[in-house]
Structure formats: structure tokens, C-alpha cells
Homo-oligomer: A and B are copies of this chain.
Amino acid sequence: SRTHSRAAAARLDLSGIYPPIATPFTAGEEVDHRKLEENLHKYAQMPFKGLVVQGSNGEYPYLTEEEQVEVVRAVRRALPPGKLLMAGSGCESTRATVQLTEKMAAAGADAVLVLTPCFYKGRMDGCALVQHYTKVADCSPVPVVLYNVPANTGLDLPLEAVVHLSQHPNIVGCKDSGGDITRIGLIVHKTQTQDFQVLAGSAGFLMAAYCVGAVGGVCALANVLGRELCELQRLCWLGRWEEARVLQQRLIEPNAAVTRKLGVPALKQAMEWFGFHGGACRSPLQPLTAAETEQLRREFASNGWL
């Protein structure tokens, strides 16, 4: 099965746009599977490469493991053929990550997205992280994608560790949400002999990431403006940079609003405005205040989206 996995890894083309899907809840904070399916039905008609399930925007730290796996199963059932399902499976301990990875694969994930463990930041040096990811990739039935999101974890996966891990046959790429375009360019450069694929972790620097060699993006904003992000990708792929720039620039402020500035509650509010089910977050995430909602609306409206 390792051989099998390696062949699969070699084949797996990650290039394209992925929304890291939000998890709708009922008023009682239970996962709302009906609303989830309605969202999935709409996403199925967009030119996404696939979906990311149990990323940060899915409030995965607030779901039980059972809920996490059940959502992956539901997405698998709803996903049209040919679309990729990438599932988050990163836990703090290596053993828990291995186990959740196996469950995600069994539930239908085509690949897993593995967040850096971060609680003991001071000890999570390159050596510890290489051992962690190597063990996970050794055991995983599906290809592994590294996941670096320093704003949430307070930790930057060292570039040398990424380069080292890119040689593992079952590690096919990374999602980088830090927004350091120099780092993204250097990862592309130092892994160019490895067929290693870099995904931008945010829509704010998507065009620049394509420019320096990324192959796609996992973008919260794709939950809201999915077609527009796919169009941005198309323009970049065609080398129509002037048109791409105009579109990219109009996406920066809405993207910042639903990520860095106002977070998941804003993403879910914006989804409602654009025809999707967002709804409330689980506690302790609070709904937006009236002033924040107004700010959110302005960021979309002043760029011509509302």
C-alpha cells in the first residue's frame, strides 16, 4: 500500500482553487447537514479543483472527532467525480495525527492537509517537525499536504524542513498562509526537482503567488466569491496579468475582512449575503457586532461586490 500510495502521490495534481468550507450550525450549535449539503450543491457547479474540509475556516477545533469525520463523509457523497477532497487531519501529537489521517482517508479524503503542531512552540523546531511529518506521511494511505498558518499557530514551519520533507514520496505539496511571497518563491525554487506543489493560503496574495510559481490556492474567500477566484486563476494561467491585477486588487479588502480582520464570523456573514448558508459560529466565537457587520459590508461594497 505504500507503493500504491506513492504512485497515487505522483499522480495527484493539486493545481486549482479550493474553498476551505465553513461548517453551518443550527441555532443549538449542532452541525446543520441540510445547510451544508445545499452549500455543497452550489459549490459543485463552480470550477473549483476541489474542497478543503476541516481547515481553520471549518471551525474544526470546535468539532469532535466524530463530527469532523462525519462532515468529510458528507462532502465525499456530495462531491462530483473528478473533484478533490482534501481533509484536515493535524493534531498536536503524532499518534493522534496518524490515527485521524487514517480515519479521514477511510471517510473518503483524497489527500490530507496537516497543520503544524504548535502547543509546545519552543520545542517545535525543524527536527521535531520533520520527524512528525515523516511519520504521518509514512503511515498515511493518501498523499499529505503540509499546512503552515502562523497567524493561528504562532509558528512558521522552517523553510529547510519544507525542503527536506518535499523529498518524501507521500508529501505532495504545502499550503502556506503566512503571506510571505519571498518565502513562497523560495519554496518553489528549492523544491523544483521534487514536483512539489505550493498552494497560496489566502486570496490576498493569490496572483503574486501564481507569479512566483504556486499552482493554486486554498482561499477562505472562495466560500463567498468562488467564481471570481477561479477567474483570477484563469487569467494568471493565460498570462493575462493586466486583467488579473485589476481583479486581484478588488479582492484584497474583502479577503482581509473575512480572514485577518474579522475572521470566521465575517466569512459566514458574507456567505449569507452571497447566497450560501453561513450562520452562527460555535462558542466562544461570537457573532459580529453591528459596527463590524457594517465594516464588512463596506469592504465588499467599496470594491464593487455589493
* Of listed A127, A182, A186, residue having the most chain B CB within 10 A: A182
In the bound assembly, the distance between CA atoms of A54 and B56 in angstroms comes to 25
Copies of this chain, whole number = 4
A284 proximity list for chain B (CB < 8 A): 93-94, 117, 124, 128-129, 131-132
Q: Could you write out 21 A-B pairs with CB less than 8 Å apart?
A: A93-B282, A94-B282, A94-B283, A95-B282, A95-B283, A117-B284, A121-B152, A122-B151, A132-B284, A179-B181, A179-B182, A181-B208, A182-B204, A182-B205, A185-B245, A186-B252, A208-B212, A211-B211, A212-B248, A239-B239, A239-B241
A16 within 8 Å of B (CB atoms):
no
- Interface assignment of A253: CB less than 8 Å from any CB of chain B: yes
A135 close to chain B: CB less than 8 A: yes
Within 8 A of B (CB), among A244-264: 245, 248-250, 252-253, 256, 260-264
Nearest-neighbour CB distance to chain B for A290, whole angstroms, equals: 14
* Chain B neighbourhood of A132, CB < 8 A: 283-284
Mark contacts of A172-196 with chain B using CB atoms, 8 A cut-off: 1 yes-contact digit, 0 otherwise: 0000000111100110110000000
Kindly state whether residue A92 has any CB partner on chain B within 8 Å.
yes
Shortest C-beta distance, A178 to chain B (Å), equals 10
Contacts of A151 in B (CB 8 A): 121-122
- Secondary structure of the A contact surface, majority rule: helix
A213-252 CB contact bits vs B (8 Å, 1 = yes)?
A: 1000000000000000000000000010100010011101
Residue contact A95 to B249, C-beta cutoff 8 Å: no
The range of chain A's interface size is: 35 or more
Contact pick for A96, options B62, B93, B208, CB 8 Å: B62
* A1 / chain B contacts, CB cutoff of 8 Å: none
Give bound CA distance, A182 to B122, whole Å: 19
What CA separation (Å) do A249 and B252 show in the bound complex? 25
Interface contacts beyond A56-B119, A122-B151: sample of 14 additional A-B pairs, CB < 8 Å, sorted by A: A62-B92, A95-B282, A122-B261, A123-B264, A131-B283, A131-B284, A182-B208, A185-B245, A186-B253, A211-B245, A212-B245, A212-B248, A239-B239, A239-B241
Given A123-B285, A241-B241, CB of A92 within 8 Å of CB of B265: no
